[in-house]
Amino acid sequence: MIKAKRNLSNSIIYIFLAIFFVISFFPVFFTFMSSFKSNMEVLTTGNTLFPKHFVFENYKKAWELADFSTYTKNSVFLSFFCVIGSILSSTICGYAFSRGKFKGKELIFYFMISSMFVSLGTLTLYPLLMIMKFVNLNKSLWGVIIIRVFGMNVTNLFIARGFVTSIPTEIDEAAKIDGCSFFGIYRRIIFPLCKPLVGTVAILSFRSSWNDYMLPMVFTMTDPKRMPLVVGIMHLKSSGSTASAWNLMLAGTAISLIPMIIIYIVFNRLFISGMTAGAVKG
Amino acid sequence: MSKQNETGGKVRVKRISKDNMQAFLMILPFLIGFIIFSYVPIVYILRYAFTNYTGFGDAKFTGLANFVRIFQREPDFWMSLVNTVVLSLGKLAVEIPLALLLAVFLNKKLKGVSFFRVTLFMPAIISAAIIGLIFSLLFASYNGMINSMLQNLGIITKPINWFNTKSKAMLILGIASVWQNYGINMIFFLMALQSIPKELYECAAIDGATGPKCFFKITLPMIAPIFQSILLMAIVGSLKVCDLVISCTNGQPGGTTEVVMTYIYKSFFGKSGRNIEIGYASAMALITAIFLGIVTIIYLKATKKLKELEG
């Protein structure tokens, strides 16, 4: 009797989860399926999920005619430098905040953490653009990279400091006796030990830089040649040619989703642990 | 330490201060960057909020003129602020209980839960702008998937135009936003649930407590402190929603689904037929920043009790 009841409640749970599995996947699946439809089919008959004929031409056209090769290159460029920069910034700051003993360390740390509460998102886009105009980087993705890397991500800082603190100090004490400088210990000993941390930070900053929209959009507003993928897709949507290029937009969207989804499938553990690490401590 | 000082003498003291110098120098570039990119923009907004700066020429100090104009002649700004609050409340009312329920299910030791954990989290890795775009396509009026599904099921006879009235467009924004966020909140709750000691439930079972009673008497109080943090992040996150709205409705129909972040962005950059008025937009940004601060403070005060439940 009890067992039957348990089976019933378990199947209800499974049904519920299965429904949400479908809900989670459907919009993405729909995008991929639509990206194989011809423009005629997209515009006239949206009522079939699967395309009548799989048109691979969309991807070729998007890649060659609609500049998606440029957008992808820009996205790769932006993400690459954001990832490298974030790895360096978070390991350096994590190490210095964890092992450094200079005056005012705690104060500076909490000062930097405070940005969590003063970050105003879109409100500061314009001032950021003007700041970058001073150094003539207001029309380049380098401006975005510098803001993202030096603007310090609080989550990364938290994770990095916690990770370095968990490395036993005996290791760097030994190096110190051998005459290693503070920076030398970072370069030779701590950084090589930070592999799991580097993985998490890399994934987090890849996700945010690949998906970023407003900031790179503002920095590339006047120059489509510099736009990363997400900005390029939205540019195509808002330009008047949407109706004639709906299929290209869908193919472009699929192009932007594929790398992210592949990386998620491979590294989902890192994704989930990384994206929640900041929340639990903060 | 003291022993080392005795033997190492001056050399060691010098080494330590050199190390400290290096540690400080390592942080310095990031500290400077942090100040420039986090605090200077706020100073910038404060500086121009009281001027009539338009991006060109000189900024003239106009005192409170911008604020008077916002309060007296800018109903659209207030509407965007109200929209933001309505959208946030509406979507959180669905999203948070849903995420908690899913987390409770995933916390049961059933076969295959890790599969659902990974798949339900997936929307969190997709760009908010792309999500907005996908949902605007899904709900497109004549060739949208949702309309044809509803028609096939016989729920509606004619395709619905989802984006021609404010309430329907807001509903779509809410759905898209819930879709984007339930996965990550689910994982937050799941982590909270997993931190509850199993013994508590065993004791409760001996006392004869069952399902819902356990949930309200043990689970909820135990996760209350983390719940407070999760809800705060969700509230602040949804008040700052921007990308999703720009890519999904872009304020349509007729600017009625504008949220405060998109409204101010458009005022700064002169989008959607607005003039570029940096000073005026700065004043709106300042009001919004104060509003966000007040909401956070009220929330923290109101939920202080939740935090104290711990222990």
Q: How close does chain B come to A121, measured CA to CA in Å?
A: 7
- B263: domain CATH number is 1.10.3720.10
| B38 found inside a domain | no
Do A128 and B41 lie within an 8 Å CB cutoff? yes
Q: What's the fold here for domain A67-281?
A: MetI-like fold (1.10.3720)
Chain B residues with CB inside 8 Å of A266's CB? none
CB A272, CB B183: distance < 8 Å: no
Question: Is residue A45 scored above 70 in pLDDT?
Answer: no
Q: Is the pLDDT of residue B16 over 70?
A: no
Sign of the CA dihedral running A239, A245, A250, A255:
negative
Closest residue of chain B to A48, computed from CA coordinates: B145
Q: Do B120 and A20 touch (CB under 8 A)?
A: yes
Find the radius of gyration of the CA atoms of chain A: 24
Residue A282 pLDDT class (50, 70, 90 cuts): very low
Gap from B39 CA to chain A (nearest CA, Å): 8
Distance separating alpha carbons of residues B160 and B154, to the nearest angstrom: 13
Element containing residue A258 per DSSP (H, E): helix A246-281
CB neighbour burial string for A243-278, b if at least 16 within 10 angstroms, e if fewer: eebbbbbbbbbbbbbebbeebbeebbebbbbbbbbb
Residues in chain A with CB shorter than 8 Å from the CB of B120 are 17, 20-21, 24
Instruction: Please answer yes or no on whether B40 and A130 come within 8 Å at the CB atom.
Output: no
| Chains A & B: contacts with CB separation below 8 Å | 260
* Residues of chain A found within 8 Å of residue B269, distances taken between Cβ atoms: 125-126, 218, 221
Poorest-pLDDT segment among A138-142, A269-273, B7-11: B7-11
Set of chain B residues whose Cβ sits within 8 Å of the Cβ of A28? 122, 126, 134
Three state DSSP letters for chain B: CHHHHHHHHHHHHHHHHHHHHHHHHHHHHHHHHHHHHHHHHHHHHHHHCCECCCCCCCCCECCCHHHHHHHHHCHHHHHHHHHHHHHHHHHHHHHHHHHHHHHHHHHCCCCCHHHHHHHHHHHHHCCHHHHHHHHHHHCCCCCCHHHHHHHHCCCCCCCCCCCCCHHHHHHHHHHHHHHHHHHHHHHHHHHHHHCCCHHHHHHHHHCCCCHHHHHHHHHHHHHHHHHHHHHHHHHHHHHCCCHHHHHHCCCCCCCCCCCHHHHHHHHHHCCCCCCCCHHHHHHHHHHHHHHHHHHHHHHHHHCHHHHHCCC
Evaluate if residue B1 carries a pLDDT over 50: no
Cβ contact, residue pair A44, B143, below 8 Å: yes
Identify the band that residue B175 occupies on the pLDDT scale cut at 50, 70 and 90.
Answer: very high
- The ipTM estimated for the assembled molecules is 0.86
Chain A residues close to B16, C-beta within 8 Å: 101
Inspect the interface and report whether the beta carbons of B42 and A120 lie closer than 8 Å.
yes
Those residues whose C-beta lies under 8 Å from the C-beta of residue B253, and which sit 6 or more positions away, are B163, B164, B165, B166, B169
| b/e burial code for range B278-303 (CB count within 10 A of at least 16 → b) | bbbbbbbbbbbbeebeebeeeeeeeb
Partner-chain contact B38 A261, CB within 8 Å: no
Q: Please give the C-alpha separations between residue B21 and each of A102, A103, B17, B119, in angstroms, as whole numbers.
A: 7, 10, 6, 47
**d(Cα B223, Cα B310) in Å, to the nearest integer?**
8
Residue B245 lies in a domain: yes
Q: Which of A100, A118, A256 sits opposite B20 (nearest CB)?
A: A100
Which chain A residue lies closest to B249 (C-alpha atoms)?
A238
Distance, in angstroms, between A269 CA and closest chain B CA? 8
**pLDDT confidence of A1, banded at 50, 70, 90?**
low
Q: Residues A101-159: pLDDT tens digits?
A: 888 888 888 888 877 766 777 888 888 888 888 888 888 889 899 998 988 778 888 88
Q: Whose CA is closest to A219, among A149, A143, A147?
A: A143
Locate tokens 């999760």: which residue? B230
Interface of A with B in 156-195 (CB under 8 A): 176, 181-183, 186
Calculate the alpha carbon distances from A270 to A191, A236, B106 in Å.
19, 33, 19
B51 backbone dihedrals φ, ψ, rounded to 5°:
-130, 175
User: Chain A window 215-234: which residues touch B at a Cβ cutoff of 8 Å?
Assistant: 218, 221, 230, 233-234
Average pLDDT (A12-36) is 89
Q: What is the DSSP letter of A51?
A: -
pLDDT band with cut points at 50, 70 and 90 for residue A22: very high
Please give the Cα distance from B11 to A77 (Å, whole number): 46
| pLDDT confidence band for A89 (50 / 70 / 90) | very high
Cβ separation of B123 and A24 shorter than 8 Å? yes
Of the two residues B244 and B140, the one the predictor is more confident about is B244
Q: How far apart are CA A270 and CA B58, in angstroms?
A: 50
Give the mutation candidate from A48, A109, A123 for the B interface (greatest B CB count, under 10 A).
A123
Does residue A30 carry a pLDDT above 80? yes
Q: Does A240 touch chain B (CB under 8 A)?
A: no
Instruction: Provide the token pair at B125.
Output: 């890795």
Choose among B67, B309, B126, B211: nearest CA to A13: B211
Contact B251, B232 (CB under 8 A): no
**Whether B102 and A124 lie within 8 Å, measured CB to CB:** no
**C-beta atoms surrounding B110 within 10 Å:** 13
- Residue A243 has what pLDDT? 62
User: CB of A231 within 8 A of CB of A213?
Assistant: yes
**Which of A120, A183, A187 is the mutation pick for testing B, counting most B CBs within 10 A?**
A120
- Residue B136's closest chain A neighbor by CA? A27
Q: Name the residue facing B119 among A21, A147, A151 (closest C-beta).
A: A21
Read off the pLDDT of residues B224-250 as tens digits, 9 standing for 90 and up: 888 888 888 899 888 888 889 988 888
Give the per-residue pLDDT at A84: 94
Distance CA A26, CA B95 (A): 18
Share of chain A above pLDDT 90, in %: 20
Contacts of A44 (CB under 8 A, 6+ apart): B143
Q: With a CB-CB cutoff of 8 Å, which residues 114-153 of chain A face chain B?
A: 115, 117-128, 130-131, 146-147, 149-152
Alpha-carbon distance of B66 to B74, in angstroms, equals: 10
Note whether residue B294 is domain-resident. Answer: yes
**Mean pLDDT score of chain B:** 84
User: Tokens 């799941």 appear where?
Assistant: B190
pLDDT band at B11 (very low <50, low <70, confident <90, very high): low
Domain ranges across chain A: 67-281
Using the 8-state DSSP alphabet, how is residue A1 labeled? -
Q: From the list B33, B133, B292, which residue is nearest A233 (CB)?
A: B133
Contacts of B135 in chain A (CB under 8 A): 27
A53-58: long-range pairs with CB below 8 Å, 24+: A55/A247, A58/A247, A58/A248, A58/A250, A58/A251
Q: Please state, for a pLDDT cut of 70, what percent of chain A lies above it.
A: 93
Q: Does A17 touch chain B (CB under 8 A)?
A: yes
Sign, CA dihedral B89-B94-B98-B99, equals negative
Return the residue of A nearest to B294 by Cα: A117
| % of chain B with per-residue pLDDT over 70 | 93
Domain total of chain B: 1
* Domain coverage including residue B104: 74-308
Is B120 within 8 Å of A21 when comparing Cβ atoms? Answer: yes
**A 77-106: CB under 8 A from B:** 89, 92-93, 95-97, 99-103, 105
pLDDT at A85 over 90: yes
Which residues in chain A touch residue B242, judged by CB atoms under 8 angstroms apart? Answer: 121-122, 214
Q: Say if the Cβ atoms of B246 and A16 lie within 8 Å.
A: no
How far apart CA A207 and CA A203 sit, in angstroms, is: 6
Q: Can you say how many angstroms the Cα of residue A6 is from the centroid of all Cα atoms in its chain?
A: 41
Torsion angles phi and psi, residue B259, rounded to 5: -100, 170
Give the residue carrying structure tokens 């989802």: B162
A271/B108 CB distance under 8 A: no
